[in-house]
Amino acid sequence: MNPVHPMRPGSYVLSSGFGQRANPVTGVQEGHLGVDFAAAVGTPFYAVADGVVVEGGERADVDGFGRWVWIDCQASVGRDLIYGHGDPLVCAGDAVKAGDLVGTVNTHGQSTGPHLHFETWTAPGRLGGRAVDPLPWLAAAGEPVSTGGKSMKPDYVELDRMGESASSRHGAQVENFLLHTQEGDGTAESLANYLNNPANGVSYHYTVRDGVVVDVVDTDLASWSVLDANSFTINLCFAGSRVSWSREDWLRIRDDIRIAAWLAVQDARKYGFSTNVIRPPYRRGPGISDHRYVTECLGIGTHTDVGAGFPWDVFAADVADFTHSTTIEEDGMPSAEEIAKAVWAHRPAKPDGRTDATAGEMLAWTDQHAGHTLDQLAGPGTKDDPSRDLDPTRWDFLADLSVPEALGVLGQRLGIEGFRDPRKGVSKG
């Protein structure tokens, strides 16, 4: 069989090849037994071929790798695969198909930054075999997309039990998909029955348990889940779940978590909001999150579900898998647009009290502030004198040099290789 690539196109940069190199941490020359794909923390990686997991999430102390996924694919392609430094989403004994999600990128172990270290070993495998360069082998590899495996729609039964416990959205746009716990022992259907009694005053769009999805409220309408946030949210409740659940408890309903991710992605597409997973520590914005986000980030209500044990990494990887997104946005990392808006919102008030701005005004304001930083390097007043045409004024206490120029002079005097006095124009050699 042909292998598929361990990562999606555009989700990584090849940062180190196979063979002899200096160890990036110790500086010692050694053989590099794999290749490195640099990528953001949380970027999914996939099984390259059909196989069986030898070691995965159950081990957390793999020398040098921190954590790894080791897959025996001798039967399908005659190789063992090693995925280093990441967060495994499979465990020893799991059978995987080519293209299955097996983990996400991190920087565990001996690593200078987030990347996937990927090795391939010939027969008989990681023990006794030989590490070979994966790149020639992967040159013909396809994309790790749905192969009949996990990237496809998960199996579930969907029941239509839409009732009266709903309100108009009053024209609000849907911005968030939110997860909830039940704090009870119901099934998807028994919880739906309870919600469908309007006298109980609570409802969700979906209840989910054991591969059953019950539609309780039409997503064009608001459910009664999150008080003032109802109008712009879609709400899903894991029937039988509790806010006190540990990660282990949640992983027992691994399949339901994946179903929730699938429903969230479908609704994000339908209503045009972001599939960004907003997890603790939260950051306000459109995307997929939980009830505690509404409490902590929007300041509405007091509920804390789904709770601290929820496996956000697993859920976010599922969401990324269904969106085929190349990276998962880092937690708390605002977009350039959000930074620009925040900067503008915190500028000194205009004398005329205006709050709008033209692009020209924003650029001028940025220039005014960045200008102070440039002055430190180039000398004072560079930007204030148009006749200089951006030529730095330099500093009189640095012998009329800019800071970089002064560094060159100092470096040359100290005999540092490559430093030179820029006033002389050429290197003294």
37 and 6 Cβ atoms separated by less than 8 Å:
yes
- Residue of 298, 303, 378, 392 that binds Zn ion (CB under 5 A): 303
Tokens of 112: 């200078």
Closest separation in Å from C-beta 16 to Zn ion: 6
Cα separation of 352 and 301, whole Å?
38
Cα separation of 75 and 123, whole Å?
10
Closest separation in Å from C-beta 161 to Zn ion: 19
301 and 294 Cβ atoms separated by less than 8 Å:
yes
Q: Which is nearer to Zn ion, 8 or 303 (CB)?
A: 303
Which 145-184 positions form the footprint of Zn ion (CB under 5 A)?
180
Closest separation in Å from C-beta 251 to Zn ion: 21
User: Residue 340 to residues 252, 332, 365: CA-CA distances in angstroms?
Assistant: 43, 16, 11
CA-wise closest residue to 303 among 209, 181, 169: 181
Instruction: Point out which span in 1-9, 32-40, 156-164, 270-278 binds Zn ion (CB under 5 A).
Output: 32-40
What is the pattern of x (binds Zn ion, CB under 5 A) and - over residues 306-345?
----------------------------------------
Closest separation in Å from C-beta 303 to Zn ion: 5
Dihedrals φ, ψ of 131, to 5°?
A: -75, 130
Closest separation in Å from C-beta 34 to Zn ion: 5
- Residue of 67, 117, 150, 205 that binds Zn ion (CB under 5 A): 117
- Residue of 3, 12, 36, 405 that binds Zn ion (CB under 5 A): 36
Q: Which is nearer to Zn ion, 152 or 300 (CB)?
A: 300
What is the pattern of x (binds Zn ion, CB under 5 A) and - over residues 277-296?
--------------x-----
Closest separation in Å from C-beta 225 to Zn ion: 6
Instruction: Point out which span in 96-104, 248-256, 263-271, 305-313 binds Zn ion (CB under 5 A).
Output: 305-313
Q: Which is nearer to Zn ion, 205 or 303 (CB)?
A: 303
Q: Which is nearer to Zn ion, 67 or 117 (CB)?
A: 117
Q: 293-308 burial, b for 16+ CB within 10 Å, e for fewer?
A: bbbbbbebeebebbbe
- Residue of 72, 80, 119, 305 that binds Zn ion (CB under 5 A): 305
Query: For the purposes of burial, counting CB atoms within 10 Å of the CB of 365, is it exposed (0-12), middle (13-18) or buried (19 or more)?
Result: middle
Which 209-248 positions form the footprint of Zn ion (CB under 5 A)?
none
9 and 43 Cβ atoms separated by less than 8 Å:
no
Q: Which is nearer to Zn ion, 112 or 335 (CB)?
A: 112
Closest separation in Å from C-beta 180 to Zn ion: 3
205 and 222 Cβ atoms separated by less than 8 Å:
no
Cα separation of 162 and 218, whole Å?
7
Q: Which is nearer to Zn ion, 94 or 305 (CB)?
A: 305
Cα separation of 62 and 402, whole Å?
50
Size of the site for Zn ion (CB under 5 A): 6
Looking at the DSSP assignment, which residues form a beta bridge with residue 51? 96
What torsion, rounded to 10 degrees, do the Cα atoms 283, 284, 288, 291 define?
90
Q: Which is nearer to Zn ion, 117 or 209 (CB)?
A: 117
Binding site for Zn ion (CB under 5 A): 36, 117, 180, 291, 303, 305
